[in-house]
């Protein structure tokens, strides 16, 4: 997680660099975590390249972004959680055995006297680090909740600061990540896709905190695999509920992402002398440059990319033209194991002789062809 990117244009932003950059957030990392098998995506992350801006104004432009009403609802829910010194949230933590009522302490890092902007984040990151040290060492004044935690991480050869909208709770030397979301829990159920995304973000916080502890020579196990998603109970925001979630999978994936936040040496050599297109170039020129970079770096398209990656529409078109089976999804690709393209798939379905590594897929295709023909005969007049 340290060291500059070998090609400066793929590393931290430079003053003369006109490639559009974004401020890294946990949401950005969570989206990137869905594509750790895509070298192009990893290079964009390492260079902090804002792909949404690069694709803006082209026919591959991604969606319009977050719903402002959802953002407003989320902020309102967070304000409700903070009411009366987090009284309801602390009660929920007591019920789950995470905190001890008589020892509750809130570290209010947002109230620290700090300048605005990056300098303020640096001050809060150092304060967060000191609070984490207290938790790991089971100090008598270790916090129960950390409000306004900021975690520092090394991304693309430069320091990045991540402000947690979730809160961290500590008990008996263990730290649990909390992620507050405003979608409701109704009759014990909630949107599984949104819950999965919340768990992914919580896992990223946990991985970032573990990396911080390791840097300070403290045990990473201080951060529990068990985290909490805080949701409104029913559609009204007046009551909250905690969902305990096992974050181990999301933490492992996030840790892998942080390792990939720097382009590997082979990829950098392939891209030597090239860069992402500049913001001011024409749409056609940008798309040509991005497509060429995809050729050089390599991509791994699947349907889920449309939900997470700003380059997905272009990547999907390229995959379709190349006849890659990935556009059907991972399950279809696994079922057609050994088959490299649509063209070859159709050949095998038509009865072409399979190679050794295509044999099992060819057998399944033959069975499917027979069932299809049988079904057509049964549906005849």
* Same domain for 242 and 170: yes
Classify 87 in phi/psi space as left (phi over 0), alpha (psi -120 to 50) or beta. Answer: alpha
Nearest to 294 by CA among 282, 311, 308: 311
pLDDT value of position 218: 92
This prediction's pTM: 0.69
pLDDT value of position 213: 92
* Same domain for 141 and 234: yes
CA distances from 222 to 80, 177, 206, 354 (A): 29, 11, 10, 53
Structural domain contains residue 259:
no
pLDDT value of position 12: 43
Structural domain contains residue 188:
no
Structural domain contains residue 193:
no
* Same domain for 226 and 99: yes
* Same domain for 117 and 156: yes
Structural domain contains residue 138:
yes
Tokens coding 183 = 């979608």
Classify 67 in phi/psi space as left (phi over 0), alpha (psi -120 to 50) or beta. Answer: beta
Q: Which residues pair with 150 in a beta bridge?
A: 163
Tokens coding 63 = 């969606």
* Same domain for 75 and 59: no
Structural domain contains residue 200:
no
* Same domain for 86 and 24: no
Structural domain contains residue 257:
no
* Same domain for 17 and 49: yes
* Same domain for 44 and 167: no
Q: How far apart are CA 149 and CA 170, in angstroms?
A: 13
Give the ranges where the chain is alpha helix by DSSP (H).
Answer: 26-32, 39-46, 51-55, 68-95, 118-136, 192-215, 248-259, 265-270, 283-297, 305-308, 312-322, 330-335, 342-349, 359-378
Q: What is the CA radius of gyration of the chain?
A: 24
pLDDT value of position 130: 93
Q: How far apart are CA 253 and CA 197, in angstroms?
A: 13
Widest Cα–Cα separation across the chain:
83
* Same domain for 365 and 292: no
CA distances from 185 to 180, 182, 189, 195, 239 (A): 12, 9, 5, 10, 10
**10-residue mean pLDDT series, the chain (381 residues):** 32 54 72 76 80 88 68 80 83 77 78 81 91 89 87 76 74 83 88 87 90 91 91 81 91 82 53 69 88 86 81 88 71 63 70 71 74 71 55
pLDDT value of position 6: 31
Q: How far apart are CA 121 and CA 363, in angstroms?
A: 59
* Same domain for 76 and 15: no
Expressed as residue numbers, the domain containing 351 is: 336-378
Structural domain contains residue 77:
yes
* Same domain for 239 and 91: yes
What is the count of structural domains for the chain? 3
* Same domain for 225 and 102: yes
Nearest to 72 by CA among 159, 232, 182: 182
Structural domain contains residue 143:
yes
């Amino acid at each position: 997680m340290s060291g500059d990117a070998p090609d400066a244009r793929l590393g931290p932003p430079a003053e003369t660099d006109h490639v559009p950059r974004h401020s890294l957030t946990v949401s950005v990392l969570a989206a990137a975590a869905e594509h750790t098998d895509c070298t192009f995506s990893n290079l964009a992350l390492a260079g902090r390249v804002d792909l949404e801006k690069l694709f803006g104004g082209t026919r591959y432009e991604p969606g319009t972004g977050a719903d402002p009403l959802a953002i407003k609802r989320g902020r309102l829910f967070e304000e409700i959680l903070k009411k009366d010194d987090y009284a309801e949230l602390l009660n929920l933590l007591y019920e789950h055995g995470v905190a001890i009522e008589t020892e509750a302490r809130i570290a209010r890092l947002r109230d620290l006297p700090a300048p605005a902007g990056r300098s303020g984040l640096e001050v809060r990151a150092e304060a967060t680090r000191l609070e984490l040290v207290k938790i790991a060492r089971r100090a008598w004044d270790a916090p129960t909740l950390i409000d306004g935690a900021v975690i520092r991480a090394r991304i693309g050869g430069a320091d990045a600061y991540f402000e947690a909208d979730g809160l961290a709770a500590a008990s008996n030397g263990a730290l649990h990540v909390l992620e507050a979301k405003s979608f409701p829990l109704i009759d014990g159920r909630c949107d599984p896709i949104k819950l999965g995304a919340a768990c992914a973000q919580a896992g990223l916080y946990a991985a970032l905190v573990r990396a911080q502890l390791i840097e300070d020579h403290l045990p990473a196990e201080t951060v529990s695999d068990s985290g909490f998603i805080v949701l409104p109970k029913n559609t009204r925001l007046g009551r909250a509920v905690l969902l305990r979630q096992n974050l181990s999978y999301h933490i492992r994936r996030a840790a892998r992402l942080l390792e990939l936040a720097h382009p590997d040496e082979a990829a950098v050599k392939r891209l030597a002398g090239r860069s992402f297109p500049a913001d001011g170039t024409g749409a056609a020129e940008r798309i040509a440059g991005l497509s060429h970079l995809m050729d050089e770096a390599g991509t791994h398209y699947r349907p889920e990319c449309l939900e997470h990656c700003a380059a997905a529409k272009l990547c999907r078109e390229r995959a379709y033209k190349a006849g890659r089976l990935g556009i059907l999804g991972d399950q279809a690709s696994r079922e057609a194991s050994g088959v490299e393209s649509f063209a070859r798939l159709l050949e095998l379905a038509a009865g072409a002789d399979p190679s050794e590594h295509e044999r099992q897929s060819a057998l399944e295709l033959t069975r499917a062809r027979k069932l299809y023909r049988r079904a057509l005969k049964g549906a005849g007049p």
